[in-house]
Amino acid sequence: MRKTVIPFGPQHPVLPEPIHLKLTVEDERIIEAIPNLGYVHRGLERLADIRDFHQMIQVVERVCGICSVIHALCYCQGIEEIMGVEVPPRARYLRVMWSELHRIQSHLLWLGLFADSFGFESLFMQFWRVREKIMDISEATTGNRVIVSVNVIGGVRRNPDPEQIRWVLAQIDWVEAELQRLEDTMLEDYTVKKRTVGKGVLTRQQAYELGAVGPVLRGSGVAQDARQTGYAAYGELHFEPVVETDGDCYARNKVRFRETLASIDLIRRAIHRLPDGEVRTKIKGIKPPQGETVNRVEQPRGELLYYLKGSGQKTLDRVRIRTPTFANIPPLLVMLPGHFLSDVPVVTLSIDPCISCTER
Amino acid sequence: MQGIKRFINQLRAKSPWLLHFDCGSCNGCDIEILACLTPVYDVERFGIIHVGNPFHADLLLTSGTVNHRNKKVLANLYSQMPSPKIVVAIGACGLSGGIFREAYNVVGGIDKVIPVDVYVPGCPPKPEAIIDGVVLGLGKLQAPQERNGERKEA
């Protein structure tokens, strides 16, 4: 049979971002997939040469608009570690709250897009309707919907008052009730199962060897989550990673859905234990960062790693960012062969690709 | 013939189809564009449909800075769209390069590559602002027709 090469992307209706896969197909079956990256590359890491280490917070937030809080959190934690700045306890708990809010909005966004990828458009609309509530919470507590810019070196910028916190709890309850209503459709529906069960299987061994991270790894049965390291206030919140063992698209879908509910629970626990006091340590008078560090946090898509190096100057010597989608592309290339062309959007979306993270 | 053209233009502004291309944005604007299509903002009630094919599109929504690799893709998409076409640049990066303007792989705003009709500022702009920008663009889609009409009367 003759082989044909079909381009998938860079402009594709299912993915809002330009990823380009060269798919070699035989009849309708894929035998090879070659990724072709670089459409979103901007060269953010070199901006560290001209922006000082405070201004870099705004830059790293724009590595990815979907998980901006977590990028800034990782960067700030790294700088705080080098400079020896102690973060007030209230700020650590608030950081958990905003990170988990962002995780929920990112997972809801993904659940919607995933439903859209197999043509279940009304489910897409339902998830995005629920997501708007999270965006309202973001806007009310931080001042912006998507790129919220709350993390600063030494703490957080905003301090929600008790009334606002009570309001957040009420909104979170609403989100949980809505999600429980949608759970039956997303996880038990015949159409959803037909398109996802047994598609894009990644075994535990493969996931481990290829270095998958985040829900892709946990969907294959490895209980690994950077939140287990206990950064910010996670160490005090008794966090348990969500694990599924099947390793197919359905398992990854289930992991993300259950993680959304787990995040709601984490926010509740963080709010109940929220200490009083300051939210920001003054860092005036402390010397600019001198030294190097590696910092890991858990993004909605998996483990995020920052390497930071400073030499006592206002600008940092090096900022290196390793993002989760970069680690999840090799597993994707293993998942794709053997599937029909019509399954490509479903399998590709199941790793939750964030191209703007990957290419920076 | 004039009558038919006017009729088609009217329909075009009543139900514009839009194409979205992300050329190097951080996703912030893209998810706000998608949020416009969902129940809270719901632009589909105005007949605005998000299509994946440039041959079907009247409006091009672009977000993010242009870089050296995707400027060709952007120019291709623009040239494949049938006239009359409207380009809406979304977000600070689409306007001027925004926070990324000094990065080495960034060309600058969308208008360095293709002509832009409406600029929507913000980082990222709220869905209301994006809808406002699209509506302004639709005004431009109707405008040549109205100008022709005036000339005819005079």
DSSP string, A115-156: HHHTT-HHHHHHHHHHHHHHHHHHHHHHS-SS----EETTEE
Q: Which pLDDT score is estimated for A13?
A: 64
To which residue do tokens 């029909």 refer? A340
The share of chain A scoring above pLDDT 90, in percent, equals 2
B108 within domain boundaries: yes
A24 within domain boundaries: yes
B-chain residues near A12 (CB < 8 A): 52
Give contacts of B 38-67 with A, CB under 8 A: 38-40, 50-52, 54, 64-65, 67
Note the pLDDT tens digit of each residue in A8-47. 776 666 666 777 888 888 888 888 888 887 778 888 888 8
CB contact under 8 A, A59 and B21: no
CA A125/CA A118 separation, integer angstroms: 14
CA distances from B145 to A132, B67, B140 (A): 38, 35, 9
Say which CATH number the domain at A250 has. 1.10.645.10
Nearest CA to A299 among A19, A92, A100? A100
End-to-end alpha carbon distance in chain A: 40
Residues of A engaging B, defined by a Cβ cutoff of 8 Å? 10-13, 16-18, 38-44, 46-47, 50, 58-59, 62-66, 68, 109, 112, 124-125, 128-129, 131-132, 135, 145-147, 354, 356
- Residue A195 contacts residue A177 (beta carbons within 8 Å): no
Q: Are residues A14 and A102 both part of a single domain?
A: no
CA A215/CA A224 separation, integer angstroms: 9
Contacts of A122 (CB under 8 A, 6+ apart): none
Residue B153 has pLDDT above 60, yes or no: no
Q: Are residues A212 and A89 both part of a single domain?
A: yes
Q: What is the predicted ipTM?
A: 0.78
- Give the strand pairing for B86-90 and B66-67: unpaired
In chain B, which residue's Cα lies nearest the Cα of A354?
Answer: B27
Q: Which pLDDT score is estimated for A19?
A: 76
Residue A84 has pLDDT above 60, yes or no: yes
CA A201/CA A266 separation, integer angstroms: 30
Query: Average pLDDT in the A205-214 region?
Result: 87
Query: Average pLDDT in the A259-267 region?
Result: 90
CB contact under 8 A, A62 and B26: yes
CB contact under 8 A, B29 and A12: no
In chain B, which residue's Cα lies nearest the Cα of A360?
Answer: B26
Could you list the residue range(s) of the whole structural domain that residue B66 is in?
15-143
Number of domains, chain A:
2
The conformation of residue A17, written as its DSSP 8-state character, comes to S
Note the pLDDT tens digit of each residue in A101-111. 889 998 998 88
Q: Are residues A164 and A92 both part of a single domain?
A: yes
CA A135/CA A127 separation, integer angstroms: 13
CA B30/CA A268 separation, integer angstroms: 30
- Residue A327 contacts residue A303 (beta carbons within 8 Å): yes
A208: helix, strand or coil: helix
Q: Are residues A150 and A242 both part of a single domain?
A: yes
A355 within domain boundaries: no
Residue A245 has pLDDT above 50, yes or no: yes
CB contact under 8 A, A128 and B32: no
Could you list the residue range(s) of the whole structural domain that residue A159 is in?
45-350
- Residue A315 contacts residue A295 (beta carbons within 8 Å): no
Which pLDDT band, with edges at 50, 70 and 90, does A206 fall under?
confident
Asked, as a colleague might, if the bond just before B84 is cis with ω within 30 of 0, I would say: yes
Q: Are residues A36 and A126 both part of a single domain?
A: no
A-chain residues near B69 (CB < 8 A): 38-39, 41
What is the count of residue pairs from A and B with beta carbons less than 8 Å apart? 123
A17 within domain boundaries: yes
A224 within domain boundaries: yes
B78 inside 8 A of chain A by CB: no
Residue B152 has pLDDT above 50, yes or no: no
Q: Which pLDDT score is estimated for A16?
A: 67
Query: Average pLDDT in the A164-186 region?
Result: 89
Q: Which pLDDT score is estimated for B141?
A: 74
A-chain residues near B52 (CB < 8 A): 11-13
Residue B142 has pLDDT above 80, yes or no: no
Look up residue A188 and give its two tokens.
């038990």
Q: Are residues A170 and A217 both part of a single domain?
A: yes
To which residue do tokens 């270095």 refer? A211
Which pLDDT band, with edges at 50, 70 and 90, does A273 fall under?
confident
- Residue B2 contacts residue B97 (beta carbons within 8 Å): no
A160 within domain boundaries: yes
Q: Which pLDDT score is estimated for B150?
A: 44
Number of domains, chain B:
1
The share of chain A scoring above pLDDT 70, in percent, equals 98
B83 within domain boundaries: yes
**Which residue among B25, B28, B104 sits closest to A43, beta carbon to beta carbon?**
B104
CA B125/CA B35 separation, integer angstroms: 12
Q: Are residues A35 and A62 both part of a single domain?
A: no
In chain A, which residue's Cα lies nearest the Cα of B107?
Answer: A42
A127 within domain boundaries: yes
Q: Which pLDDT score is estimated for B154?
A: 34
What's the mean pLDDT when you consider all of chain A?
A: 85
A65 within domain boundaries: yes
3-state secondary structure A60-94: HHCCCCCCHHHHHHHHHHHHHHHHCCCCCHHHHHH
Q: Are residues A104 and A253 both part of a single domain?
A: yes
Q: Are residues A199 and A150 both part of a single domain?
A: yes
* Of B149 and B127, the one with more pLDDT: B127
Q: Which pLDDT score is estimated for A32?
A: 83
In chain A, which residue's Cα lies nearest the Cα of B32?
Answer: A146
A357 within domain boundaries: no
Q: Are residues A7 and A155 both part of a single domain?
A: no
